[in-house]
Structure 1
Amino acid sequence: MMATRVCAESEIAVDSPLRVVVDDVAIAIVKDSAGTVHAIGDTCTHGDISLAEGFVEDGTLECWAHGSRFELTTGKPLTLPAYEPVPVFRVQIDNGEVYVDTHDVLASN
C-alpha cells in the first residue's frame, strides 16, 4: 500500500492536533514541541472520543474527556481510565507534505 497525503506540514501547529481520516481510519496528526510529526489513532480506547480535540504535552496526547494520556511514539496509555493502546502509524514528509500509511502500524500493542 502507498502512503496517503493527509496535509501540508505547515498546516500543523505545534501541540495542536489535526484530525484526518485515511482509509476509514481516524488519525490525529500531532507536531510535538521538538517539531516531530506523529500520526496516532484518533479514537480514545476508553470511550469514543476524538483525541485530536485533546491536549499535547511532554510527548503525549491527552483525551479531553477523561484525562487518559497516550504516548505519541508508542500509543501506550500512561494514565487511566484507558488501558488499551491506540495505533501509531508511520509518517513520511516529502517536500513539506505529510503522508501516512494506515497499513504501516509502528505500534499498537
Structure 2
Amino acid sequence: MSEYVKVCTLDDLPEVGAVVADFDGRRVAIVRDSLGEVHAIDDTCTHANVSLAEGEVEGCTIECWLHGSRFDLNTGAPTGLPATVPVVVHFVKIDGSDVNVALNN
C-alpha cells in the first residue's frame, strides 16, 4: 500500500458518479455511490481498456459505458459480463472534505 494522497475534495465529486484522478502513474476513478460512500478503483475497464469514470453508477456498482460490464465498487469484482477480470480497488480515507487515496499495489 502506498501513502495516502489528497486527490480531490467531496465537492469535486458528483452526487452520484465518478471523476478521474491521475497520480503516482495511475488513472484512478474516484466514485461516489448511491449511498454517498466514496470508492477508488482503477479507471480502466478490464474488458475493453476504456475509462470506467465515464460509466453509470448504480447502487454500489459502476457500469462500463462501452460494453456494459459492471464492477462492484467494494471488491472490484465483475458483476456483469463481458468483463471477467476484477479491477483493483484502492484505499480511501475522508479527512474533513478531503478525499485521500492510497494505492493498493
- Residue by residue over 1:63-89, the C-alpha shift from the partner in whole angstroms, topping out at 9 and shown as x without a partner, is 000000000000000111110000000
Question: What is the alpha-carbon distance in structure 1 between the residues aligned to residue 73 and residue 29 of structure 2?
Answer: 10
Aligned partner of 2:79 in structure 1 is: 78
Q: Secondary structure at the match of 2:17?
A: coil
Question: What is the alpha-carbon distance in structure 2 between the residues aligned to residue 68 and residue 76 of structure 1?
Answer: 11
- What TM-score, normalized by structure 1, do the two folds share? 0.90
Aligned partner of 2:61 in structure 1 is: 60
Return the letter of the residue paired with 2:26: V
TM-aligned CA deviation for residue 33 of structure 1: 1.6
Question: 4+ runs of 1 displaced by more than 6 Å?
Answer: none
5 Å-filtered alignment, 1:1-109, equals 1-102=2-103, 104=104
Q: How many aligned positions are there? A: 104
Question: What is the alpha-carbon distance in structure 1 between the residues aligned to residue 36 and residue 58 of structure 2?
Answer: 13
Gaps (5+ residues) in structure 2?
Answer: none
Q: Secondary structure at the match of 2:66?
A: coil
TM-aligned CA deviation for residue 58 of structure 1: 1.9
- Residue by residue over 1:34-57, the C-alpha shift from the partner in whole angstroms, topping out at 9 and shown as x without a partner, is 111000110000011000000000
Q: CA RMSD in A?
A: 1.1
Contact 1:27-1:39 at 8 Å conserved across structures: yes
Question: What is the alpha-carbon distance in structure 2 between the residues aligned to residue 97 and residue 8 of structure 1?
Answer: 4
- What TM-score, normalized by structure 2, do the two folds share? 0.94
Contact 1:14-1:30 at 8 Å conserved across structures: no
